[in-house]
Amino acid sequence: MPVYVSMLRGINVGPHKRIKMDKLRACFEELGLQQVKTYIQSGNVLFKAGKIVPLALSAKIENELQKNFGFSVPVVSRTAEEINASASQNPFLKEPGIDPEKLHVMFLSDAPAAAAIKKLDDLLAVPEQYRWSGKEIYLYLPNGVAASKLMKAPLDRVFSVTTTTRNWKTVNQLARMCQDCR
């Protein structure tokens, strides 16, 4: 059975959209998903399911979350193979002077138009950098997320797709969990 990771955006980040991890796992299990595990409180869920397109899987999970918790939660899903590729193919890892603690991956629900990606150039502030690869945007934010001009922009509207960002430590931990789940 294939392994998937679903990343929920905006839960447990302040007083709104609070979800306890045991209730989140139960919600996923209600969908018939198996061996459901969560990683940290910010909405990273790993599980096994029958073969399904990640975009359709995200829509199914979003509907279940709305039904169970009464609020909308954007979800971006990936196969274990896609998560592993994101972790192993980060182009910044080959560049000198890059601090891995300042790396992030923005996961997109679908590949955006090239014209939308070009808008990133106007949103970046030196020394921020990005590299685009299909449904991922690799970010180097040397001044941190809180100081990033880019991370304050309404990127879902810029790209016309759902986005969610994970730090490099989380991406690597999700990849390890996918390996352990096989």
pLDDT of residue 162: 94
> Does the domain formed by 3-80 have CATH 3.30.70.1280?
yes
pLDDT of residue 175: 97
pLDDT in single tens digits along all 182 residues of the chain = 999 999 999 887 777 888 999 999 999 999 999 999 999 988 999 999 999 999 999 999 999 999 999 999 999 999 999 999 999 999 999 999 999 999 999 999 999 998 999 998 889 889 999 999 999 999 999 999 999 988 988 888 889 999 999 999 999 999 999 998 87
For the entire predicted model, the pTM comes to 0.95
* CATH tag, 83-180: 3.30.70
> How many degrees, rounded to 5, is the angle at CA 11 between CA 173 and CA 111?
65
First to last CA, the chain: 9
Q: CA–CA separation, 44 vs 58, rounded Å? A: 13
pLDDT of residue 13: 75
Q: CA–CA separation, 61 vs 75, rounded Å? A: 7
Q: How many CA atoms lie within 13 A of 68 on its CB side?
A: 20
Write phi, then psi, for 130 (nearest 5 degrees).
Answer: -140, 160
